[in-house]
């Protein structure tokens, strides 16, 4: 019994399903797409001036509306957690960084840390313990 044609139909259906799923996944991360708007509805804020006129006596401007667009969902940028990463030693960091790279330095007691601002730009916060004190470092 020849099942080659049946396997090719199953393969085409699987490919089509993967293509549709991939397209839906792409739409879900593109700001402004229909899927994006389902999970990130725009918020409108109206700013109004006092009724009547301003202090100069000129007529008040009509209310302006501003749309607040959420680009990332809540908690979309993961924090760097001390128990989930291995921080570099000073020698290791010196080998990977240029002298002009910026860091945020924190010293508590005899414990010293330097956090790369380049890494903080993509993670936004580091939760660490320095000198026995829990700290949150952000850029």
In terms of Cβ atoms closer than 10 Å to its own Cβ (0-12, 13-18, 19+), residue 106 is middle
Helix, strand or coil, per DSSP, at residue 122: helix
Phi, psi of 130 (to 5 degrees): -125, 125
Greater pLDDT, 12 or 137: 137
Percent of the chain exceeding pLDDT 70 equals 65
What CA–CA distance (Å, rounded) separates 58 from 78? 50
pLDDT band at 126 (very low <50, low <70, confident <90, very high): confident
Q: 70-90: per-residue pLDDT in tens? A: 777 776 777 777 777 778 888
């Amino acid at each position: 019994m020849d099942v080659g044609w049946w396997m090719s139909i199953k393969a085409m259906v699987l490919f089509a399903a993967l293509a549709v799923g991939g397209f839906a996944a792409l739409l879900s991360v593109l700001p402004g797409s229909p899927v994006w708007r389902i999970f990130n509805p725009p918020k409108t804020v109206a700013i109004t001036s006092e009724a009547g006129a301003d202090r100069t006596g000129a007529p008040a401007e009509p209310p302006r509306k501003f749309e607040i667009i959420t680009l990332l969902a809540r908690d979309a940028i993961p924090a760097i957690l001390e128990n989930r990463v291995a921080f570099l030693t000073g020698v290791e960091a010196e080998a990977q960084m240029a002298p002009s790279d910026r860091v945020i330095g924190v010293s508590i007691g005899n414990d010293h840390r330097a956090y790369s601002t380049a890494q903080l730009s993509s993670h936004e916060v580091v939760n660490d313990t320095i000198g026995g004190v829990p700290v949150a470092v952000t850029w």
